[in-house]
Amino acid sequence: MSKIHAAITAVHGYVPDYVLTNKELETIVDTNDEWITSRTGIKERRILKGEGLGTSDLAVPAVEALLKKRGITANEIDLIIFCTTTPDRVFPATANILADKIGAKEAWGFDLQAACSGFLFGLATGSQFIESGKHKKVLVVGGDKMSSITNYKDRATCIIFGDGAGAVLLEPNDEGNGVIDSILKSDGAGVQYLHQKAGGSIKPASHATVDADEHFAYQEGQAVFKFAVTNMADVAAEVMEKNNLNSEDIAWLVPHQANKRIIDATANRTGVSPEKVIINIERYGNTTNGTIPLCLWEWESKFKKGDNLILAAFGGGFTWGSIYLKWAY
């Protein structure tokens, strides 16, 4: 019997309507379109406006459209893995909240926190449940309301982040398509460069933490850039070498959308030509867990059955990794 792989059988994404342009950011902090575009490649990002709305509200439209596309009901889902750094609440898991909102009564679920690499970690984790035969339908969601932890007084970070979510459905495939291999890495020594100072158990929320802006993402941009640019490129090249793939074998490179310069470095290192590199950072910025599923969603119509895709990400923690998958439809 041929090996069972976990294949993506449907994908959908959602970004909120509000467009925060570089021009508008010029009115909020001391910056300009030319600086942002040349340093990051970002022109605009989407922001979820409205009281009482969280990351699950970004995921609901993406998942509902995905289910419709695949022609299944929410009750057919066995497991929901919600990859996010901005959960609706510290607890319970946003996966539970999403399950309730979409009416998935038969699913269990959990949140997965690996910052910007979360979606890849979730894809690799979800694949195990399919490969083992334990589950038939696993929903992997990647989404973040980054505007909820972005300090709009800090010009070096507020220009980067945006809100958005995407989801994929994993199902068993016996034709050799699906997730073939992954290399995933973590290094907690990187915590100092990118983290949220307060709101966790070591520093619970207080008046003082709010006054000191400690509930926002804190980033030492240059240090993060240095680690990201080498590690994301290296791990993508590593997964290709391990699977005897050269640049011509790759139909699409799907990089985390953190910074256009980091994407270009990954493309150069892997030798994948520019027309095969998926980039939407100019429209959405860095949506953290949302970037890769949003790319898959927007390019879905261009993918062909059997296409080799290399997914690569780097994020806070530090976390990084790459997945080799063969598109299944």
Ligand X SMILES: CC(C)(COP(=O)(O)OP(=O)(O)OC[C@H]1O[C@@H](n2cnc3c(N)ncnc32)[C@H](O)[C@@H]1OP(=O)(O)O)[C@@H](O)C(=O)NCCC(=O)NCCS
* Residue numbers at the binding site for ligand X (CB under 6 A): 31, 35-36, 39-40, 116, 155-156, 159, 221-222, 224-225, 228, 258-259, 262, 286, 314-315
Nearer to ligand X, 99 or 159 (CB): 159
- Would residue 158 show up in a list of annotated catalytic residues for this protein? no
Nearer to ligand X, 61 or 221 (CB): 221
- The residues pairing with 112 across neighbouring beta strands, listed in sequence order, are 83
List the beta strands (DSSP E) in the chain.
5-14, 18-21, 44-47, 79-83, 108-112, 138-145, 163-173, 178-186, 194-196, 217-219, 252-255, 308-315, 319-326
Closest CA to 315 of 60, 110, 118, 63: 118
Relative to beta strand 163-173, strand 138-145 is: antiparallel
Provide the minimum distance between the beta carbon of 324 and ligand X in the complex, in angstroms, as a whole number: 21
- Would residue 286 show up in a list of annotated catalytic residues for this protein? yes
- Amino acid of residue 193: Y
Nearer to ligand X, 129 or 318 (CB): 318
Sheet holding 252-255, edge to edge: 178-186, 319-326, 308-315, 252-255
What is the C-alpha to C-alpha distance for residues 281 and 64, in angstroms, rounded to an integer? 24
Nearer to ligand X, 109 or 316 (CB): 316
User: Active site residue: 22, 96, 116, 158, which one?
Assistant: 116
Structure tokens at 79: 């497991």
The conformation of residue 4, written as its DSSP 8-state character, comes to P
Provide the minimum distance between the beta carbon of 258 and ligand X in the complex, in angstroms, as a whole number: 3
CA distances from 151 to 92, 145, 210, 215 (A): 25, 13, 12, 9
Residue nearest to ligand X (CB): 221
- Would residue 256 show up in a list of annotated catalytic residues for this protein? yes
User: Active site residue: 286, 289, 295, 308, which one?
Assistant: 286
The conformation of residue 199, written as its DSSP 8-state character, comes to S
Provide the minimum distance between the beta carbon of 207 and ligand X in the complex, in angstroms, as a whole number: 29
What is the C-alpha to C-alpha distance for residues 48 and 19, in angstroms, rounded to an integer? 9
Structure tokens at 16: 């909120």
Active site residues: 116, 256, 286
